[in-house]
């Protein structure tokens, strides 16, 4: 028990700090040097860390080479199901990408049963690809656009998929047949926020908010390097913040939610009220808008500036409450960043109370639409690092008698 805790302590430190000497690890973790040497020996033996570069320990003693996270034989699989696609992201323990896939899929038309079968198929194909790359998948996490009961792996409500109270973890486990691994489920924006913290433009920033603009608006909050979940896992509901009580009616039935000001549907309506929003992919739609802005569509330019201002107001709420360093924007916000972010930043600075908090910066994500699946894979990595007993060994050991 204590040894597992200590192994986890060392692995966690190496996840966040590459190429550490044993002395570095001892200092950072508070463990004795002898204990660290012993733990590192086990981790080297289990190929979860490897020695890198050279570091000389002066005249006395043999050179001690720094160690870094390895685990090339350990696979972590993340899936995302969204309105019109399923994507997969598989990595090894060190975060090296082993497989990335995205297939078109109409989840609403397919219904939960077909969606589950399709998710299972994508998962098993990814498992095969990871095995070919030499890694045994040791966990799976799924990103879903909706409210998720994380503790039970149940999708409480995902309006854009037409799902409610779906025990996704249990049903997907069953669909995976003989491949038995722990399955967890989480909100897509939460997982994208985690991906931004792990490997995006603001990687390593310990206080960040992720805000994604699609037809609606989603968000995830990372505080002190950890995802904010709240008492029931329902924190970070940024899209339905009431920002204009006298404002237009939202899809949720309330009035003046942030989504009615900065969602893609709201932008389209403001710029071209005469045309109804076609059911095209938000990504394509955003690229079209960017083309229009470049070509000098002045009504669109005005609408985008207005959305930028409301985005700044929404950002100021987040800055006032969470005091993050960075607000990373994804989805169509990222595509239109050069037009949206300047007015958003100005408005945020005007509305934030504390001088330091106003140093909070909007930045555009560069992870694209794969962020949630990538975040799902990193959740699996973190779970394995927290519970090293769950990590498979590189070479099968003899079963005890």
Binding site for its own copies (CB under 8 A): 1-2, 5, 30-32, 147, 156-157, 206-207, 221, 223, 228-238, 240-246, 252, 254, 313, 316-318, 320-325, 350-357, 359-360
Over the Cα atoms of the chain, what is R_g? Answer: 23
**Strands across the sheet containing 226-227:** 226-227, 217-223, 208-213, 326-331, 361-364
Distance in Å, CB of 211 to its own copies, minimum: 12
For its own copies, the closer of residues 103 and 157 by Cβ is 157
Query: Smaller CB distance to its own copies: residue 207 or 269?
Result: 207
Question: Residue 19 or residue 147: which is nearer to its own copies going by CB?
Answer: 147
Taking the least distance from each CB to its own copies, the nearer of 86 and 191 is 191
Output 6 or 115, the one with its CB closest to its own copies: 6
Least Å distance between CB 35 and its own copies? 8
Strands 147-149 and 183-187: what pairing?
unpaired
215 within 8 A of 259, measured Cβ to Cβ = no
Q: Which is nearer to its own copies, 100 or 237 (CB)?
A: 237
For residue 275, the tally of other CB atoms under 10 A from its CB is 9
Q: How far is the CB of 210 from its own copies (least distance, A)?
A: 13
Q: Report in angstroms how near the CB of residue 260 gets to its own copies at its nearest.
A: 13
Please provide the DSSP assignment of 369-397 as one string.
GGHHHHHHHHHHHHHHHH-GGGSPPSSPP
Distance CA 145, CA 218 (A): 9
Rounded least distance, CB 269 to its own copies, Å:
19
C-alpha–C-alpha distance, residues 133 and 38, integer Å: 30
Q: Which residues contact 123 (CB under 8 A, 6 or more apart)?
A: 77, 79, 88, 140, 172, 176, 179
Q: Which is nearer to its own copies, 357 or 385 (CB)?
A: 357
CB of 89 to its own copies, least distance (A): 27
Label residue 223 exposed, middle or buried (CB < 10 Å: 0-12, 13-18, 19+): middle
- Least separation in angstroms between CB 230 and its own copies: 2
Q: Which is nearer to its own copies, 118 or 206 (CB)?
A: 206
Q: Rounded CA gap, 259 and 310, in Å?
A: 10
Give yes or no for a contact between 84 and 105, defined as CB atoms under 8 angstroms apart.
yes
DSSP, collapsed to helix, strand or coil, labels residue 199 as helix
d(CA 189, CA 222): 11
CB of 316 to its own copies, least distance (A): 6
In this structure, the strands spanning 97-104 and 85-92 are: antiparallel
Nearer to its own copies, 244 or 288 (CB): 244
Q: How far is the CB of 347 from its own copies (least distance, A)?
A: 10
- In DSSP notation, 259-285 reads HHHHSHHHHHHHH-TTSPPP---HHHH
């Amino acid at each position: 028990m204590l040894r597992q805790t200590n192994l986890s302590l060392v692995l966690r430190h190496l996840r966040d700090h590459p190429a550490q000497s044993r002395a570095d690890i001892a200092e950072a973790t508070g463990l004795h040097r002898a204990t660290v040497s012993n733990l590192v020996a086990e981790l080297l033996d289990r190929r979860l860390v490897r020695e890198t570069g050279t570091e000389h320990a002066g005249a006395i003693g043999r050179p001690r080479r720094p160690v870094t996270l390895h685990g090339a034989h350990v696979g972590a699989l993340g899936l995302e199901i969204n309105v019109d696609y399923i994507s997969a992201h598989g990595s090894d323990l060190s975060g090296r990408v082993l497989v990335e896939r995205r297939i078109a899929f109409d989840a609403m038309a397919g219904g939960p049963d077909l969606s589950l079968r399709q998710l299972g198929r994508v998962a098993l194909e990814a498992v095969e690809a990871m095995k070919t790359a030499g890694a045994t998948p040791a966990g799976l996490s799924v990103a879903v656009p909706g409210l998720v009961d994380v503790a039970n792996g149940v999708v409480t409500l995902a309006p854009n998929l037409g799902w409610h109270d779906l025990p996704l973890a249990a049903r997907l486990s069953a669909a995976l047949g003989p491949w038995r691994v722990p399955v967890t489920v989480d909100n897509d924006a939460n997982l994208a926020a985690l991906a931004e913290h792990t490997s995006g433009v603001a990687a390593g920033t310990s206080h960040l908010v992720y805000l994604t603009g699609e037809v609606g608006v989603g968000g995830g909050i990372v505080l002190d390097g950890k995802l904010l979940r709240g008492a029931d896992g329902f924190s970070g509901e940024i899209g339905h913040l009431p920002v204009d009580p006298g404002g237009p009616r939202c899809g949720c039935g309330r009035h003046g939610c942030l989504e009615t000001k900065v969602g893609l549907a709201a932008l389209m309506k403001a710029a071209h009220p005469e045309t109804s929003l076609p059911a095209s992919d938000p990504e394509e739609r955003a690229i079209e808008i960017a083309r229009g802005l470049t070509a000098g569509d002045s009504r669109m330019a005005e609408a985008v500036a207005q959305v930028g201002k409301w985005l700044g107001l929404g950002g100021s709420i987040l800055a006032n409450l969470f005091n993050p360093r960075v607000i990373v924007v994804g989805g169509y916000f990222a595509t239109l960043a050069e037009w949206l972010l300047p007015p958003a930043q100005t408005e945020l600075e005007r509305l934030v109370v504390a001088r330091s908090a106003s140093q909070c910066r909007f930045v555009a994500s560069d992870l694209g639409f794969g962020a949630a699946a990538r975040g799902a894979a990193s959740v699996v990595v973190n779970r394995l690092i927290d519970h090293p007993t769950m990590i498979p060994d590189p070479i099968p050991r003899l079963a005890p008698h």
